[in-house]
A and B are shown apart, each in its own frame.
Chain A
């Protein structure tokens, strides 16, 4: 753009064409630098996961090396599948539950005439903004009393706390965007409210539902605090599984394994996120990251 090139007010030392290409080059350099800063950690851990123990700790760092899949084989032997299964079941189950109760609630808050709608929305939002430890610790106390620690279903329910507010806020925005004429037309044709919701609004909001589903899945997948406090031996998720390494992390032999673990945890969601990036961006910005 020519914004930076204000020929009228400034004495020139270089020709405008040179100046413009200098600006382009500078801009390109900045973009590349930003990309490197954003992606380097992921790139580095990906590289590290294919290195042999001797290469992974070598300084100066090696870029060219003999790749190995030994680290990934250790990961599989290291009960990765167990943690992975827990993460899939708990995240998936909680997303399903969140969508089933959250989408009708969003519809209700968009279309129904009820009292205290604004207050209700703000209360839901405040759950999203609250420090999670204020829920996590009492939940630990309640669940230990009831002997529910370590059951997958209890984590499935608890995880709704992260996602239900997001789903309700985002989906309400989606429903608000659908013209009410559609509802009215359906009502004139004699469709019940539930019928209208199921066969007109839900199909119209399908892109929105897809967005919040993926977003919720990522949030649940990445969750650590609740998983750490509330999971017993049988329900530990991938994030808890990874931090088992922390104690012996100074032991450099395990760097490669640690990398392979890290890559295996983030690969599913990074791929998912890049595939549906456009929807995801709308999700992050449309309501609440």
Chain B
């Protein structure tokens, strides 16, 4: 078969060149500097130290903690938003006047600037004395925590923002997928006496498996690398309790100036999420093989 190599350079080349500069080159620099003791305050004594940074990482309880809290944060906010978005999509199957308007309005959290959303939550909702959350809790006679300044409330605070932000994404994806599901299997199942819940579990979820896995991978990668909302809400605090990986790398590099070490951290960070995603893709692939 003839190949369009020359045309490929003309059409795909420029994009590849741009990606080479903004993605491949930085990745190379990250890998290279992760093997040095480069510290911005002692830039002159930059030496190759092999894998010493990586060994240091795994002996650093704060890094291990950061990895754990990132995974926990990802698990909680992905889990809740996946279920919430799916249920929301089911809810919107029912027709009612103004349905399309509601669907459009539900996309608003998703397109809102995350930094703005986080600021709003922090100032208007989480403020210990004048925030709405504590006002509501206080009115109901419940304890009023100092949200972003206490553990585990600070953790819940960042999860709530992320769930609010990302549930609409899962909703959109599920809504579109449900729209294109064929009707016949459901009618048949209904005639056979399958209940609503049974039809959802036995029919809707299996038929949407590819979509759900796609949404899951997408959601995981976004929460796992989240920086904006967490940095704005808690700055990784109180103490370093909500210092997720992105914030950890940022602080090591731009507060402690330990850039070699910080880069080693981001390499490990990328490897972990790559493994998670590959695992999910493989699982989906196997599953599909098993079905066919």
Contacts and interface: CB of A to CB of B under 8 A. Distances in A.
A108 B26 contact: no
Contacts of A42: 108, 112, 120
Contacts of B42: none
Name the prevailing secondary structure of the B interface residues: helix
B188 interface: no
Contact of B108 (A249, A273, A281): A273
Contact of B4 (A35, A59, A114, A160): A114
A258 B23 contact: no
B11 A255 contact: no
A219 to B, nearest CB: 9
Contacts of A134: 26-27, 30, 263, 266-267, 269-270
A286 to B, nearest CB: 8
A113 interface: yes
B270 A255 contact: no
A113 B246 contact: no
Interface of B: 1-5, 7-8, 10-12, 14-19, 21-23, 25-30, 33, 88, 91-94, 96, 102-117, 119-125, 127, 130, 132, 135, 139, 164, 168-169, 172-173, 175-177, 190, 193, 195-196, 217-218, 221, 224-225, 227-228, 231-232, 245-246, 249-250, 253-254, 259, 262-263, 266-267, 269-270, 273-274, 277
Contacts of B249: 133, 137
Interface stretch (A177-185, A203-211, A240-248): A240-248
A210 B2 CA distance: 33
Nearest to A252: B130
B8 A114 contact: yes
A134 B271 CA distance: 11
A193 B16 contact: no
Interface string A189-229: 00001000100000000000000000000100110110001
Name the prevailing secondary structure of the A interface residues: helix
A281 B27 CA distance: 32
Interface in A112-141: 112-115, 120, 124, 126-141
Nearest to B134: A59
A284 B172 contact: yes
A70 interface: no
A108 B8 contact: yes
B169 A113 contact: no
B239 to A, nearest CB: 18
A130 B224 CA distance: 9
